[in-house]
Amino acid sequence: MVIEPVSLLKRLIRIDTTNPPGNEKELLLVLADIMEKEDIEWVLQETAPGRGNLLAWLPAETEEKEKPLVLLSHVDVVGAREEQWSFPPFEAIEENGYIYGRGSVDTKQLTVMELTAFLNLKESGTKRRRDVYFLATSDEESGSTCGLSWFLEHEISLGGRSFPGKELFYGSDVISEGGGFPVIAGGREFYLCESGQKGCGTVAFTVSARKAKGVFFGSGDGMERAMALVQDIGNMTLEGRTLETVKLFEDSLGSAELSPMMEKILAAMKRNSMTVTMIEGKNVNEVQVICDVRLLPGFGKDWLVSMLETLAAKWDCSFQILSFCEGYESSPKGEFLHILEEATLQVLGKTKKDVQILSFVSMGSSDGRFLAGLDAKVYGYSPVYSWDMTFDTAVSMVHGIDEKIHKDSVLLGCRVLTLAVRQAAGEE
C-alpha cells in the first residue's frame, strides 16, 4: 500500500478545516504532495483565499475508452465545541482502536479510502479502460460555492488540455459520500449505498394584513391567516410515488423488522414533505412563514410552484422560492453497484446470503445534487464494519459529538474501494 491510511486520516483530522472559514488549502497541499511523489498529474485551483479543489488524473490506456470514474469527497467539516467531546475534536486521539475527530465520518475517511484506491490502481499495473479522477473539494458544508459548484462552472487545465469542469462528469460513475453504513435486519447485514437524494429547498410565504391602516393602526388578521397557513401545511399530505430504489429496498428487506430510525427513512423515501421552520415578522401587519421542502426525484420546480400557488391563493398571500435543487435517482441495479457489492463480499469473506448492498434515497443533500443534470451515476459508499457502527449510529455522529471511526473500518473501506476501482477501471 502506497500510503498508511490510518496515519494519513489522523493527519488530515489534525488540520482544522472547519467551515466557515474552511482553510482547506493546507490539507489539499498534503494531498498534492502525495500526488507529486507518486508522479501523478494533478492540479490545485484556488477558489478563494485559502480554499480550493484538488483534481488528480490517471488516464485511460486503451484506444476505445469508457466514461470516466470519479472518486469524489470533500475535506471541509462542520464546527465542533471541544468542551462537549470526550477528546479534542482536532487531535485525532486513538482510544481502543477508535479515532476520534471531526471529519472521521464526514468525510475525511472517504478521502483516505478513495486516495488509497486511486494510488493502488496506479501501482497495480491494471490496464485502464477509462479515465479515473480523484477530486477533493472544499465548502460542501456551506453550499459548495468555493467547492464542487465552482469546479463545474470553470475551466480545468490538466494533462495538457483545458476543459469545463462539468465535462468530467458527463455519463460518469461517481463514488461519493452518504453510504457504506450497515443495517442489520432479519439476521443479515445490508450495506446502504446512497443512490439518490430528495430535492431540497427553502420557501417563504408573506402574509400581509388586509385591514391595517399603517404602523400605528395595525391589524391581527394577517397573523391569523399566517397561523391558519401554518396549520394547513402541518396537516397536508403531499403527493408521492414509489421509486425504483424504494421498491427494491422493500423487496430486499421482506418482512424483516427495522429500527425506528430506518422506518422513518423508509417512510420519507415514499413522500414529499414541507415543514414550517420559522415564523417571523417586523410587526403584526406582515408575517413570514419559512418552510423546508423535500421532494422526491421526479418532482421538480414546476410541481413545487403549482403547489405553492394553490396555498398562496387559499390564504391570500405571496410566496418566494429562496432556494431549490432537484433530487436525483441513480439506477439501484447498475453494473457499478454490482462491482461495489462483489468487492464488499470478497473483503468481508461473506456471501450474499449474509451481506447485500441496498440502495436508498437520502433525505439530506450533498455535492451529488450538482451532478443530477449531467447523466452521472452517483453512489455514496464508504463501507465500515457493522460492529463499528450501523447506519443509526453513523447518523448520530455526523455533525454530532464524539465523531469516531475504528481503524479497522478505515482499512476495510480502503480494501473494498481498491478492489472495486480496479475492477471498474481495468480491462476484463
Reported as a single tens digit per residue, the pLDDT across 71-128 is 999 999 999 999 999 999 999 999 999 999 999 999 999 999 999 999 999 999 889 9
Q: Does residue 293 register a pLDDT over 50?
A: yes
CATH number of 5-181+362-425: 3.40.630.10
Rounded distance between C-alpha atoms, residue 212 and residue 220, angstroms:
8
- Tell me what percent of the residues of the chain surpass a pLDDT of 70: 97
How many CB atoms sit inside 10 A of residue 369's CB? 22
* pLDDT score recorded for residue 224: 86
* pLDDT score recorded for residue 214: 56
Half-sphere exposure of 260 (CA within 13 A, CB side): 0
Instruction: Please name which of 66, 356, 14 lies closest in space to residue 189, comparing C-alpha atoms.
Output: 356
Question: Whole-structure pTM over 0.85, yes or no?
Answer: yes
* pLDDT score recorded for residue 13: 98
Half-sphere exposure of 181 (CA within 13 A, CB side): 24
CATH number of 199-325: 3.30.70.360
- The mean pLDDT of the chain is 94
Strand, coil or helix: 147: coil
Domain ranges across the chain? 5-181+362-425, 199-325
Q: Does residue 428 register a pLDDT over 50?
A: yes
* pLDDT score recorded for residue 140: 97
Reported as a single tens digit per residue, the pLDDT across 197-230 is 999 999 999 998 886 555 545 556 778 899 999 9
Secondary structure (H, E, C), 155-205: EEEECCEEEEHHHHHCCCEEEECCCCCEEEECCEEEEEEEEEECEEEEEEE
How many CB atoms sit inside 10 A of residue 337's CB? 21
